Amino acid sequence: MGIRWQLIICFIAFVLAMLLIIWVFLIALLDFFYERTKINEFNAACDAIEATVNTDVFEDTCYNMAVKYNVCIRVFFCQGTSLRKQIASVDASQYCLIHHISEEALTGYYKNALDRDGGWVTRITLGAPRGDSEDRRGDRHGEEEDRSVFTPKVMAIAVHSFRASDGNEYAVFLNTEFTPMFSMTHTLNNLFLWIALAMLLTASLLAYIFSLRISRPLARMNDAAKQLAAGKYDTEFKPAGYRETRELAGTLNYAAQEISKSDRLQRELIANISHDLRTPLTMIGGYAEIMRDIPSEMSPENVQVIIDESQRLTDLVNDMLDLSKIRAGTKIPEKSVFDLTDTVREVMQRYSVLVAYDGYQIIFRSEDDISVDADRTMMLQVIYNLINNAVNYIGPDKTVCVEQTVRDDRVRITVTDHGEGIPPQEIANIWDRYYKVDRVHRRARIGTGLGLSIVRNILQLHGASFGVESRLGSGSSFWFELPVAGKLEREPPADSAPSSDN
Ligand code: ADP
C-alpha cells in the first residue's frame, strides 16, 4: 500500500479513536457523571446540616445549602423508626416532592435509609401535565407515569439519618430536580455526527495534502534512482518536501557522485593496470626473446631487467590482493606488542642500496624505542608504503626525513619529503583506491595507485589517526599515531638505520 493510503487510513483511524473517546466521556458517561455530581452535592449538604444540628446556625445552614445546591430540605427529630417532629424545612422548588408527599411515605423512605446504614438515594420520574396543579403533581410520583401525556420530570430524593452529639436521632430529607439527560444526549448525538463528519473530511484532506508532499518527491527520487541504476550517473535528485526527503535527496546525490567517481576510477584502473601489467610483460618477453636469439645479449644486466620487471609485477599483484583482502574483511589484524622503532629501521634497511649508490639520504629521528600493540606485518607495510612514496616523490635534495615523536602516550611517525607536494584540492582524494594526482601515467614512478589506500585501510582497522600536510612545491608530511604500549629508554648516542642522524 502506498504512503498516500497509509496516511489517509492512519489519519482517519486517529480521528475515529478521538471521536470515540470524546463520545464516551461527553455523551455515554454524561448521565453517570451528572448523577455522581448530584450525589456529591447531597453528601456535602447532609454533612453541613449534621455538623450544625442543635447549634444557632442550624437554620441558616439549611437555608444556605438549599440555595447553594438548589435542593429542598426537611429535617426531622426521630424516635425509633418514626419521624417525631420537623425541626427545619426549606422549600426551594415548585416541584418538590418531600414537601408534598404523605408523612407515611416519608417514614417509608426513612426506614429505607435506616436499613442501608443511614443513607438512601432514589430517583423518581414524575409525570406532570403542562400547567398542572401542585396536588396532582404530588400524587403522581413513581416510575409508572404516562409519558405520552405528561412532560416527565425526574426527582432525586436523598435520606440521611444520623445520631447527633445530644444522643438524639435525626433524619435529613433532600429533594432536587434531576435534569433528564436524554434530550441533551440526543442533541449532542446529532451535533456529534456533524462534528465527526467534518473531522473525518478534514483528516482525509490533510492526509491527502501531507501524502502529496511526501510521496511526490519520493516518486521523483525513485525515477531518478532507476536512471542511476541504469548507469546515468549525472542524474540529479531534486530536494523537495520535508526535511527528511530533502536530506535523502542530498544523500542520494552524494551517493550518485561517489558511484560515478568509483566507476571512473574503475575504468582508469583497468587502463592503468593493463598498462602496468603489459609494460613489464613486454619487457620480460622482449628481453627473453633477445637473449634466446642473440647469445651475446645473455648478460647479467639483461637478466636483471627481467628480474626487476617480474618483481614489479609481483608488487602490483600483491598490492591488489592485500587491498582486496583488507576491504573484504578477511585480513584481520593479529595484534602483538612489538618495537615500532625497530620496524621503521627495518624498512629503512631496504633502502640501503638506494642510499649507498644513488646519493639518497633517509634520516630517522627518534628518542626512545617505542613498542606498540598492533599487527606488525601490517604496520611494516604502512611504514614501507609511506617511505616508498616519499622516495618516489623525493625532492631535488634527495632527502627523506622519518621522525618518531611521543606525546600524551601516543607515538607519531612522520615521513617527510621535499618534493613537489600535493595540490590542496587533491589531498582528500589521495587515500582513494587507484587515485593518482598525476594522471599521466609515469612509469618512472613505481606507483600502483593502491599504496595510500592500503595505508588508510590498515590504520582504520587499528583505529589509528593519520593524515597529511602538504604544500605544493615544498613537499609532503605523512603521519600516523598509535597508542604507546611500552618505552625502552636508549643510552645516547644510539645508532639507527642507514643515514640515521641520531
Ligand atoms: P601511488 O602508487 O601512485 O604512489 P598511492 O596510493 O601511494 O599511489 O598514492 C596516491 C597518490 O598520492 C599518488 O599517485 C600521488 O599523486 C600522491 N602522493 C602520495 N604520496 C605522495 C608524496 N609523498 N608526495 C607527493 N604526492 C604523493
Per-residue pLDDT tens digits for 5-57? 888 888 889 999 999 998 888 888 888 888 888 889 999 999 999 999 989 99
- Cβ atoms 395, 436 nearer than 8 A: no
* pTM across the whole model: 0.48
* Cα–Cα distances in angstroms (integers) from residue 7 to residues 148, 222, 244, 306, in the given order: 50, 19, 17, 71
Cell readout for 378 is 601490517
CA–centroid distance, 255 to ligand 1, in Å, is: 25
Whether 422 lines ligand 1, by a CB cut-off of 6 Å, is yes
454 CA: nearest ligand 1 atom: 6
* Cα–Cα distances in angstroms (integers) from residue 420 to residues 77, 347, 391, 394, in the given order: 117, 23, 12, 8
CA–centroid distance, 416 to ligand 1, in Å, is: 13
Whether 280 lines ligand 1, by a CB cut-off of 6 Å, is no
User: Which pLDDT value is given to residue 491?
Assistant: 63
User: Which pLDDT value is given to residue 146?
Assistant: 44
CA-closest residue to ligand 1 atom 21 = 389
How many angstroms separate the CA atoms of 199 and 204, rounded? Answer: 8
User: Which pLDDT value is given to residue 443?
Assistant: 41
CA–centroid distance, 273 to ligand 1, in Å, is: 16
Cell readout for 386 is 609511506
What is the identity of the amino acid at 231? G
Half-sphere exposure at residue 430, Cβ-oriented, CA atoms within 13 angstroms = 21
Whether 287 lines ligand 1, by a CB cut-off of 6 Å, is no
User: Which pLDDT value is given to residue 138?
Assistant: 37
CA–centroid distance, 442 to ligand 1, in Å, is: 12
CA–centroid distance, 410 to ligand 1, in Å, is: 26
User: Which pLDDT value is given to residue 50?
Assistant: 93
Whether 437 lines ligand 1, by a CB cut-off of 6 Å, is yes
CA–centroid distance, 183 to ligand 1, in Å, is: 89
Q: Mark 198-231 as b/e (b = at least 16 C-beta within 10 Å).
A: ebeeebbeebeebbeebbebbebbeebeeebeee
Question: Kindly report the CA angle at 485 between 479 and 489, in degrees rounded to 5?
Answer: 90
Instruction: Return the best residue to mutate from 385, 389, 439, 445 for the ligand 1 pocket (most ligand atoms within 8 A of CB).
Output: 389
Intervals of the chain under pLDDT 50:
129-150, 439-445, 494-502
CA–centroid distance, 74 to ligand 1, in Å, is: 106
How many angstroms separate the CA atoms of 420 and 363, rounded? Answer: 19
